[in-house]
Amino acid sequence: MTAGYNTISLGSGRKEFHPAKPRPGLEHYITEAGKATLVQIGGAQNVDESVIGNFMASRFNKQGHLAGFIPMIDPDLAGKSATRVEAACASGGVALTTAFRSILAGTSDTVLAVGVEVQNTVKAIYGADVLAGAGWFQHRKKGHAYFFPGQFSNRAGAYFERFGRDETRKGLARWYRNAIENARLCPTAQEYHNTTANLEVVAMTPPNGKVFVDNLNIFDCSKVSDGASCIAVMSEDGLKRSGIALKDAVEVISFAQVQRDITKLPDDLTILAATQLAVRKALANAGITIDQLATIELHDCFSIAGILTVEAIGLAPHGKGAEWIASGHSARDGKLPINTTGGLVGWGHPTGATGVHQAVTVWEQLTGHAGEAQIMVNKGKKHALSINMGGDDVTVVAIVYKKN
């Protein structure tokens, strides 16, 4: 994978965002991300096919058939295969796995993988109803008005009850602090302009179920975001054709895509079982352990998801994830830097783009393209992991990368 590019993650928090002013649409984001990647790989003539991940353009933008927008990026993409894929918030991750399969099948040497979402087209309460389509909509009326905040509030409540509210809230607050501090180093991040002084103090604001949900506050949540990400997935022949050196690409050495039954409730609200399975499969297929990871990009749609994913990976025992995070282990200067450009809470969560954004961030870190957000990659740790989750732990894509 090489030549990654992220647009700005636009939404509240960015200085240029104003809800009453016209904003860019799908066409702008797809074109910006796609063109920027093509420039890095020598042009569209080097692309064999494209995949675009998106969740709900049909409702947010009244637009379907997104594969038809790929030739808009460059006329040389016309007449070539393009596919749109959807897996809720894991749509970007599935765009990547679809690209991987084409490369492995030998049907393409270069696949353009794009993820996009434009969500700031409706008020938050209506957007929550649109996003509820990532769950089983037949049970929509049984959920909270803010459906997914409600789902993860329930997970947080179960975790509080079993492992203690106060210590868990400290872990959630540190997660928010890490997210914003990292986002401040990334010019495309939605929280890049955040100047709040006492991040952990703010994040400890007590949840208020009368105005939001019972166990999470607004700082525990990723924001409504518009944006796109793009990266080129290539075989070695594809790299040669584009004249790209191995040092400027990262090797994808394994991936896992798993599914949980969307019609059933989780067996245990304090465990992300599908995430746990996907990570185990990906690491086993890669033949590595978590001790060999230099960095992780994980799906923190809510801060409690960060804690649960840390435990699902095996970085901390069940019930100890909040303590592990509160101790600073996931900070950019900690044991294992996580979400180095802010993750979903800090960088933003344009749902269909998130999985691709994670891959771009990994590529940037392992090849030294991360700018001010660059971390020190230990020479003995050449691997990275990304985890993209769709819905409430329903579709999960885990990918293991290696620095060349």
Taking only the tens place, the pLDDT of each residue in 186-240 is 999 999 999 999 999 999 999 999 999 999 999 999 999 999 999 999 999 999 9
> Predicted confidence band at 146 (pLDDT cuts at 50, 70, 90)?
confident
Domain ranges for the chain, please list them: 2-122+225-248, 137-220+249-403
Q: 137-220+249-403: which CATH architecture?
A: 3-Layer(aba) Sandwich (3.40)
**Which residues does 210 contact at the CB level (< 8 Å), separation at least 6?**
none
Please state, as a whole number, how many other Cβ atoms lie within 10 Å of the Cβ of residue 30.
24
Task: State the CB neighbour count (10 A cutoff) for residue 37.
Answer: 24
Query: Where does 214-369 show beta strands of DSSP type E?
Result: 226-234, 250-259, 293-297
Q: Residue 100: what are its φ and ψ, rounded to 5°?
A: -55, -45
> What's 129's DSSP letter?
H
Phi and psi torsions of 83, nearest 5°: -130, 140
Mean pLDDT of 59-68: 98
Rounded CA-CA distance 381/12 in Å is: 36
Q: Residue 143: its pLDDT value, please?
A: 72
β-pairing verdict for 250-259 and 293-297: unpaired
pLDDT band, very low/low/confident/very high, at 8 (cuts 50, 70, 90):
very high
- Nearest Cα neighbor of 174 from 347, 374, 327 is 327
Integer Cα distance of 403 and 2 in angstroms: 11
Q: What does the mean pLDDT of the chain come to?
A: 96
Q: What is the pLDDT of residue 388?
A: 98
Residue 24 tokens read as 């860019």
**What pLDDT was estimated at residue 394?**
98
Residue 379 has pLDDT above 90, yes or no: no
Nearest-10 Cα torsion for 298, 102, 281, 179: 0
Burial of 337 (0-12, 13-18, 19+ CB in 10 A): buried
Surface-to-core class of residue 342, CB atoms within 10 Å of its CB (0-12 exposed, 13-18 middle, 19+ buried): buried
Q: Is a pLDDT exceeding 80 seen at residue 371?
A: yes
Asked whether residue 142 carries a pLDDT value surpassing 80, the answer given is: no
Structure tokens at 154: 């329930």
Whole-angstrom Cα distance, residue 301 to residue 71?
31
Q: What is the pLDDT, as a whole number, of residue 300?
A: 98
Q: Which amino acid is at 67?
A: A
Is there a common fold for 2-122+225-248 and 137-220+249-403?
yes
Average pLDDT for 353-373? 97
Element (H, E) at 68: none
Spatial distance between the Cα atoms of 68 and 346, rounded to a whole number of angstroms: 31
* pLDDT for the residue 399: 98
CA-CA distance, 119 to 382, in Å (whole number)?
36
pLDDT tens digit string along 30-62?
Answer: 999 999 999 999 999 999 999 999 999 999 999
- Please write the tens of the pLDDT for every residue from 103-117: 999 999 999 999 999
In this prediction, residue 127 carries a pLDDT of 92
Check residue 167 and give its pLDDT: 95
Give residues with Cβ within 8 angstroms of 379, minimum separation 6: none
Q: How far apart are CA 390 and CA 404, in angstroms?
A: 30
Closest among 269, 278, 340, 359 to 53, alpha carbons compared: 359
Residue of 105, 104, 63 whose CA lies nearest to 84 = 63
**Alpha helix segments (H runs only) across 210-326:** 236-242, 273-286, 303-313, 321-326
Whether residue 15 is predicted with pLDDT greater than 90 in this model: the reply is yes
Percent of the chain surpassing pLDDT 90: 94
**Token match 């990871």: residue?**
293
Say whether domain 2-122+225-248 belongs to CATH 3.40.47.10.
yes
